[in-house]
Homo-oligomer: A and B are copies of this chain.
Amino acid sequence: MLPLVTQRRARVRRLLIGAPLPSSAHEGQLLRKRMALPIFASDPLSSVAYAPQELLLILAAGGTALVAFTPLVATAVVTLLIVVVVSTRQLVRAYPSGGGDYEVAARNLGERAGLVVASALLIDYVLTVAVSVASGVDNIISALPGLHEWRVEIALACVAALVAINLRGVAEASKVFAIPTYLFIGSVLVMIVVGGVRDLTGSLPVAESARYAEHGAQLSQAAMVLVLLRAFASGCSALTGVEAIANGVQAFRRPKVRNAQLTLVAMGSVAITLFVGVTYLMLRTHVHYVADPCSLSGITSCDTYVQRSVIAQVASATLGGDRSVGFYVVQATTALVLLLAANTAFNGFPLLGAVLGRARYAPKAMLARGDRLVFSNGVLILGTAAGLLLLATDASLTVLIQLYIIGVFVSFTLGQTGMVVHWTRRAELLSRHGRATRGVHARRVVNVIGAAATSVVLVIVTVTKFTHGAWLVFLLMPVLWFLMLKVNRYYAAVEVQIAPDGSTRFGSSGDHAIVLVHTLHKPALKAIDYALAAEHASLEAVHVATSRSGARALRAQWEEMGMAVPLTILESPYRDVSTPLIEHIKSHRDEHGSEVVSVYAPHYVYGHWWEGLLHNRKLGRIEKRLALCPGVAVVLVPWLLDSTQALFERQPRPLVGLERRGVSGLPPVRRNSP
């Protein structure tokens, strides 16, 4: 069953985002595992591109002595990753509906805790997009340094492209994403293997920045510990994205939980392998990566020195230099997978938005699925927020990373804690029924470890990043939290207001109609025609005289045309139409008792969006005022302008009156038939 009206705008939309799908096609939109891996794993996998370098950057501030701690810090990060993957695997099984950490916290720790998680995740999804795009652009510029000036513009263009791709729907998106993701995994694995072999055979070159050295800083022990913790915190950015699978369980094909769990484990394994491999090569090629290139000793012109990303330097060293095919493959796939990592957020955010919308913590509009069964509003809001953030921070990765991962670790911590409560309740339930609780206790231990670890990381991350920009996140989270609570209370209040109770009486009576006439053109004539057809008990035409000459001309025209409907002309000392009209209606209702008054007003319908700037403004203001007047209903009589031709394409429309006489399908067409 095709839609009645084909729109030219819809044609353009279809080109951009594909034909509409019926609800039954939903199953086909669900993900196979091998398609799901790229979608959900691109975030954690792409962290491999920047987590090692951010880790090194912070250690390098302490000089060569601290850089030696890199393997230790990296090991801590890997351990935490394993803990989080295992804990989330349990969560997915226990709460397969897709609410993720939010649902766990809401059900086990209370509404307010759930909203904390929701606000944290929403913010972090935006940051995921921003960080991934910034990092991707970094890598593009590492390969093509001439584009340096256009950082922000390229970043915004990438966000726009991601929005467009995601409006096309998940299944389409996954095809686009699968190839670069697998290429990335493949090329980095190849790089690691090649690098490992060359290292073992002693033929591993050093990176381009190996000839420099950090300035050794004399640090107290306390300061050293702080630097180590900050480095650990930055390295933990490798964990982001794991929670998105928990939000996306429903997007998998059946058996949904099992597939989600398998994908989760696969994702974790690959991520660990790549992270360890890149870090290893980073150390073996003696990469030096610092916050401020001028602090490197041995560097000649630090103003013009373009510090390339760690992955770029490692790939260049390992695979045969800047001109080698391997280098360009790694750079290209890294940039692509970073851009696509942003896509993990484009899956998680709208899904979370819909969950919140269903629970009335977000506008109901978040539930609206577009033609492609995608939560379009969520996609658009995420794109806009990420774009603004990139604009505000000049697409600077280092700035953005300071804001990052706070939200994720709030979510992890509360999610794991919620799971602990969940298993505790389950254990009580089982023991009450005399069943074994050992399995449950074991699961609970896992989540206890997870909660403890992530809360420690949360504290570390908060303390180390607070003054560097994280305070902003701690400002925004309560704001979002508050807004969501207010929206929920608002919808609840409205529900109460509109719930039917015994007090509602029928019995409005009386039926007066007014036709608003400004000049006697076709739209006005059509409105009069419709009002006559509805056979109201009484009918009058009303003109509000904003100029005397206009009123006189109308009266003359009225009499000339011999209009059967009586014309009332109202004075208007103010410039507006609404007030005299409302006064007139009120006095009518005072005289005739409270009748229902229907106000007929012609309403232009046009084919192009910009025509909206040129029409219907005055009518909109009048409508708003009339809505506040008791007993009034506004009847919009549409007048289709010629531009709506575009919307009708090939539908013939009979002349006024002809259709009624049984004649149809005649050109020329008048679109304003009765």
- Are the C-beta atoms of A4 and B629 separated by less than 8 Å? yes
A510–B623 alpha-carbon span in the complex (Å): 26
Specify the chain B residue showing the minimal Cβ separation from A483: B610
A507 within 8 A of B: yes
Contacts of A625 in B (CB 8 A): 4-5
Whole-angstrom distance between the Cβ of A594 and the nearest chain B Cβ: 5
Contacts of A490 in B (CB 8 A): 611, 614
Number of copies: 2
Contacts of A24 in B (CB 8 A): 573
A521–B629 alpha-carbon span in the complex (Å): 21
Question: Which one of A60-68, A211-219, A233-241, A492-500 is at the interface?
Answer: A492-500
The 9 closest A-B pairs by CB, nearest first: A508-B674, A627-B638, A498-B521, A508-B533, A533-B596, A505-B657, A605-B627, A498-B522, A634-B636
A536–B523 alpha-carbon span in the complex (Å): 23
Specify the chain B residue showing the minimal Cβ separation from A657: B505
Contacts of A605 in B (CB 8 A): 627-628
- Are the C-beta atoms of A365 and B613 separated by less than 8 Å? yes
Specify the chain B residue showing the minimal Cβ separation from A659: B594
Question: Which one of A124-132, A174-182, A579-587 is at the interface?
Answer: A579-587
Interface centre among A1, A636, A640 (most CB of B within 10 A): A636
Q: Is the interface of A mostly helix, strand, loop or mixed?
A: mixed
A363 within 8 A of B: yes
* 24 A-B interface contacts by CB (under 8 A): A3-B579, A4-B583, A23-B574, A490-B611, A490-B614, A491-B614, A497-B522, A498-B521, A498-B522, A500-B522, A504-B656, A506-B532, A507-B529, A530-B596, A534-B536, A535-B537, A596-B674, A603-B627, A627-B638, A630-B673, A631-B674, A633-B638, A635-B635, A635-B636
A399 within 8 A of B: no
Q: In chain A between 1 and 29, which residues have their CB closer than 8 angstroms to a CB of chain B?
A: 1, 3-5, 20, 22-24
A332 within 8 A of B: no
Q: In chain A between 466 and 495, which residues have their CB closer than 8 angstroms to a CB of chain B?
A: 487, 490-491, 493-494
Contacts of A3 in B (CB 8 A): 574, 579
Contacts of A226 in B (CB 8 A): none
Contacts of A429 in B (CB 8 A): none
Selected contact of A534 from candidates B534, B603, B611, B670, CB within 8 Å: B534
Whole-angstrom distance between the Cβ of A384 and the nearest chain B Cβ: 14
User: A487-B614, A498-B522, A636-B636 known; 17 other A-B pairs, CB under 8 Å?
Assistant: A4-B586, A24-B573, A363-B613, A491-B614, A498-B521, A498-B639, A499-B521, A504-B525, A506-B529, A509-B533, A534-B596, A535-B537, A594-B660, A594-B673, A623-B636, A631-B673, A633-B638
Chain A 361-376 interface 0/1 with B at a Cβ cutoff of 8 Å (1 = within): 0011100110000000
A299 within 8 A of B: no
Contacts of A632 in B (CB 8 A): 638
Contacts A498-B523, A499-B522, A636-B636; A493 near B642 (Cβ below 8 A) = yes
- Are the C-beta atoms of B4 and A579 separated by less than 8 Å? yes
A520–B501 alpha-carbon span in the complex (Å): 11
Selected contact of A503 from candidates B369, B582, B656, CB within 8 Å: B656
Specify the chain B residue showing the minimal Cβ separation from A508: B674
A358–B60 alpha-carbon span in the complex (Å): 68
A653 within 8 A of B: yes
Whole-angstrom distance between the Cβ of A204 and the nearest chain B Cβ: 44
A438 within 8 A of B: no
- Are the C-beta atoms of B533 and A510 separated by less than 8 Å? yes
Whole-angstrom distance between the Cβ of A508 and the nearest chain B Cβ: 3
A325 within 8 A of B: no
A511 within 8 A of B: yes
Selected contact of A671 from candidates B493, B523, B536, B630, CB within 8 Å: B630
Whole-angstrom distance between the Cβ of A366 and the nearest chain B Cβ: 10
A282 within 8 A of B: no
- Are the C-beta atoms of B644 and A628 separated by less than 8 Å? yes
A593 within 8 A of B: yes
Selected contact of A530 from candidates B611, B633, B638, CB within 8 Å: B633
Contacts of A521 in B (CB 8 A): 498-500
Contacts A633-B635, A636-B627, A673-B594; A614 near B364 (Cβ below 8 A) = yes
- Are the C-beta atoms of B505 and A533 separated by less than 8 Å? no
A548 within 8 A of B: no
